[in-house]
Amino acid sequence: MTTRIAIIGGGAAGCFAAICLKERMPEACVTVYESGNKLLAKVAVTGGGRCNLTNSFRDVRSIEAVYPRGSRLMKRLLREFSHVDAYRWFESKGIRLVTQDDQCVFPASQDAMEIVATLTRLMKMSGVTIKTRHRVSNITPTKKGDAKEETDGRFSISFSGGDKPDECADVVMVTTGGSPKPSGLEFLNSLNLEISHPVPSLFSMCTPGHDITRLTGTVVDNVTTGLTGTKLRANGPLLITHWGMSGPSILRLSSYAARFLHGNGYKAELWINWFGDKNETEVAEHISTLADEGRQKQMCNTYPRHLNGRLWEHILKQSGLKPEMRWAELGNKGRNRLVSTLTNDRYMTEGKNKFKEEFVTCGGVALGNISAKTLESKNHEGLYFAGEVLDVDAVTGGFNLQAAWTMGYVAAKSIATKHGKQ
Ligand SMILES: Cc1cc2nc3c(=O)[nH]c(=O)nc-3n(C[C@H](O)[C@H](O)[C@H](O)COP(=O)(O)OP(=O)(O)OC[C@H]3O[C@@H](n4cnc5c(N)ncnc54)[C@H](O)[C@@H]3O)c2cc1C
């Protein structure tokens, strides 16, 4: 009998898995149920419409640093389908890719629609059945060994709206993506899964009313940011916006601190080292050199090259120093205050803001529910998970889509191995 495979969610992981499944199990009946009216709607807007589909991993110090949730699982799964495999896979399907200086990988066309169109074409060509406007409201396992399981398969699938009949499947793969609200996972209730409470990740931080917001548009290339009272810290460029702080270092920090900040109502003290990894002694030396070189110059006119004049003036004021003061007038106390601000500048954050509408979910289906090798449920044979619906998420840079490709591939391979023709 033909194996009926239901994929719930037509996003990155679901569509990729569907193609991989049909490559390995051409005889299987693979159906993708998508609640929206189009497949891959989120992929279409990724990377600001350019789709940062993976990363070269060249600057990745550890998998833990890029996957704050799910690093152990990803370490294992990336051995099966890595960024190199993803790169080759997309190029083998005719999409030319480019790696930017920051190691993010995009289609050379700079158009996410090329990815959407290619995946959609491959699904159609391989005979995947696509059912859009099908929001799954329930997945019920049929009783093991009874006649219904024999004829209808292991699972019965119901849809919202009441106008669509239930459907059945032998194998179900859940790829419904991130859901920052717990209600988005209610369709899994009958399966009694452990859920790790979902909260948002990847956001900018608000410092309402603070003077620094006047410097909107200022970018500092390499800062270290952290949250007072925690060990959470992140490096990278920082962007000052009219509501507060943003840019890669802040997004990274928001990812590491997603749960902590949620628990504190997004109120926290943010510290910034404007000199990145440099410590107080190193920064003090830098300041001494500046002071020696420009003794008779006003402090506002001689400043570290990686900062701009407006930010420097702000830092001087934060340190209680008058910008028009001459370097020769800076005593030890003033120097210490300046070094302290440069390495440990403090701001109260009072909330979060979306970064270019980009966010991911921290939390979801807990990893304890599944086999790390196959992504199959430990309690329900034939039920698989892939993508952001699981408690796996990454910092920005193409790592989230890579997780979707990797998990989609592994889940498809596991299904083919276990449920394909022997
Ligand atoms: C604006 C934005 C930009 C981003 N840019 C990038 C980027 O450049 N690079 C990167 O790596 N990551 C990026 N991300 C994150 C990335 O898009 C996601 O991590 C990735 O799409 C997750 O893939 P997925 O298949 O798990 O979920 P999704 O791609 O979200 O797909 C899930 C699908 O399931 C459907 N669905 C949900 N519930 C049901 C249901 N009950 N029944 C049926 N269907 C359902 C949804 O409609 C959706 O189509 C971005 C995210 C956003 C929001």
Res 359: pLDDT: 86
Span of 209-213, 399-403, 408-412 with lowest mean pLDDT: 209-213
For ligand 1, atom 5: residue with the closest CA: 46
Choosing from 133, 134, 155, 400 the residue with most ligand 1 atoms within 8 A of its CB, the one to mutate for a pocket test is 400
Q: For 104, which DSSP code?
A: E
Q: Tell me, yes or no, whether 167 and 270 share the same domain.
A: no
CA of 178 to the centre of ligand 1 (A): 7
Residues 16-24: what's their mean pLDDT? 98
Condensed to tens digits (0 to 9), the pLDDT of residues 95-120 reads: 999 999 999 999 999 999 999 999 99
Q: Tell me, yes or no, whether 106 and 212 share the same domain.
A: no
Q: Tell me, yes or no, whether 269 and 394 share the same domain.
A: no
Q: Which atom of ligand 1 is nearest to the CA of 401?
A: 11
Q: What is the CB-side half-sphere exposure of residue 219 using CA atoms within 13 A?
A: 5
Q: Tell me, yes or no, whether 56 and 125 share the same domain.
A: yes
Condensed to tens digits (0 to 9), the pLDDT of residues 184-235 reads: 999 999 999 999 999 999 999 999 888 999 999 999 999 999 999 999 999 9
For ligand 1, atom 15: residue with the closest CA: 400
Condensed to tens digits (0 to 9), the pLDDT of residues 255-295 reads: 999 999 999 999 999 999 999 999 999 999 999 999 998 88
Could you say which of 357, 385, 406 is where a domain stops? 357
Res 150: pLDDT: 64
CA of 46 to the centre of ligand 1 (A): 9
Please name the residues in contact with 325: beta carbons below 8 A apart, sequence gap of 6 or more. 298, 299
For ligand 1, atom 10: residue with the closest CA: 398
How many separate domains does the chain show? 2
For ligand 1, atom 48: residue with the closest CA: 11
Q: Tell me, yes or no, whether 106 and 120 share the same domain.
A: yes
Q: Tell me, yes or no, whether 353 and 246 share the same domain.
A: yes
Q: Which tokens go with 213?
A: 């917001």
Could you say which of 357, 377, 401 is where a domain stops? 357
CA of 42 to the centre of ligand 1 (A): 5
- For residue 137, give the CATH number of its domain: 3.50.50.60
Q: Tell me, yes or no, whether 304 and 188 share the same domain.
A: no
Compute φ and ψ for 83, nearest 5 degrees: -65, -35
Q: What percent of the chain has pLDDT over 90?
A: 91
Q: Which atom of ligand 1 is nearest to the CA of 41?
A: 49
Q: What percent of the chain has pLDDT over 70?
A: 97
Q: Tell me, yes or no, whether 251 and 113 share the same domain.
A: no
CA of 388 to the centre of ligand 1 (A): 7
CA pair distance 328, 77, nearest whole angstrom: 59
Indicate the pLDDT class of residue 353, thresholds 50, 70 and 90: confident
Indicate the burial class of 3 (C-beta count within 10 angstroms; 0-12, 13-18, 19 or more): buried
- For residue 250, give the CATH number of its domain: 1.10.8.50
Q: Tell me, yes or no, whether 69 and 102 share the same domain.
A: yes
- DSSP class per residue in 228-280: TTS--EEEEEEEE-SSEEESHHHHHHHHHTHHHHHHTTT-EEEEEETTTT--H
Could you say which of 305, 326, 357 is where a domain stops? 357
Q: Tell me, yes or no, whether 325 and 369 share the same domain.
A: no
Domain that holds residue 77: 4-199+358-419
Higher-confidence residue of 146 and 266: namely 266
Res 336: pLDDT: 96
Q: Tell me, yes or no, whether 384 and 310 share the same domain.
A: no
Q: Which residues have C-beta atoms less than 6 Å from ligand 1?
A: 8-14, 33-36, 41-43, 45-47, 51-52, 135-136, 175-177, 187, 357-360, 387-389, 398-401, 404
For ligand 1, atom 27: residue with the closest CA: 177
Q: Tell me, yes or no, whether 23 and 134 share the same domain.
A: yes
Sheet containing 54-55: give its strands across: 54-55, 104-107, 97-99
